[in-house]
Amino acid sequence: MNHILHVVGARPNFVKAAPVLRAIRERGMRQTLVHTGQHYDGNMSDVFFTQLDIPEPDFNLEVGSGSHASQTAEIMRRFEPVVLERKPDLTLVYGDVNSTVAAALVCSKLLIPVGHVEAGLRSFDRTMPEEINRIVTDRLSDVLFTPSEDGDANLLREGVPKERIHFVGNVMIDSLIRLLPAARNCPKNGFPERFALVTLHRPSNVDDFETLRELLNALARVSKDLNIVFPVHPRTRQRITEFGIDSQNLRLLDPLPYIEFLSLQTRAAVVITDSGGIQEETTYLGVPCLTLRPNTERPITVTSGTNILVGDDRGRLIAELGKIMEGKQKKGVTPPLWDGRTGDRIANILHGV
Active site residues: 201
Q: Using the rule CB under 6 A, is 280 a contact of ligand UD1? A: no
| 40 contacts ligand UD1 (rule: CB under 6 A) | yes
Q: Which is nearer to ligand UD1, 40 or 49 (CB)?
A: 40
DSSP secondary structure string for all residues of 110-168: TT--EEEET-S---S-TTSHHHHHHHHHHHH-SEEEESSHHHHHHHHHTT--GGGEEE-
Task: Give 197's strand partners.
Answer: 229, 271
How far apart are alpha carbons 154 and 187 in whole angstroms? 42
Residue 234 contacts ligand UD1 per CB under 6 A: yes
Give the one residue of 2, 27, 53, 65 binding ligand UD1; rule: CB under 6 A.
65
| Closer residue to ligand UD1 in complex, CB, 239/341 | 239
Q: Any bridge partners for residue 7, and if so which? A: 34, 93
- Smallest distance from the beta carbon of 263 to ligand UD1, in angstroms? 19
Regarding 243 and contact with ligand UD1 (CB under 6 A), the answer is: no
Report CA 36 to chain centroid distance, whole Å. Answer: 16
**φ and ψ at residue 272, rounded to 5 degrees:** -115, 120
Among 178, 213, 235, 323, binds ligand UD1 (CB under 6 A): 235
Work out whether 41 is an interface residue with ligand UD1 (CB under 6 A): yes
Scanning 141-149, 183-191, 224-232, 233-241 for contacts with ligand UD1 by CB under 6 A, the matching segment is 233-241
175 is a contact residue toward ligand UD1 (CB under 6 A): no
| Candidate list 6, 11, 35, 116; residue touching ligand UD1; CB under 6 A | 11
Q: Looking at the DSSP assignment, which residues form a beta bridge with residue 30?
A: 3
- Which residues from 122-161 bind ligand UD1, rule CB under 6 A? 129-130
| Least spacing, CB of residue 252 vs ligand UD1, in Å | 15
- Nearest approach in angstroms of CB 303 to ligand UD1 is 22
The DSSP annotation for 227-290 comes to EEEEEPPHHHHHHHHHHT---TTS-EE----HHHHHHHHHH-SEEEE--SHHHHHHHHHT--EE
In the sheet that holds 270-273, the strands lie side by side as 252-253, 227-231, 195-198, 270-273, 289-291, 307-309
> In the bound complex, what is the minimum distance in angstroms from residue 11's beta carbon to ligand UD1?
4
Q: Does 44 bind ligand UD1 (CB under 6 A)?
A: yes
Binding site for ligand UD1 (CB under 6 A): 10-12, 38-41, 44, 65, 96-98, 129-130, 201, 233-235, 238
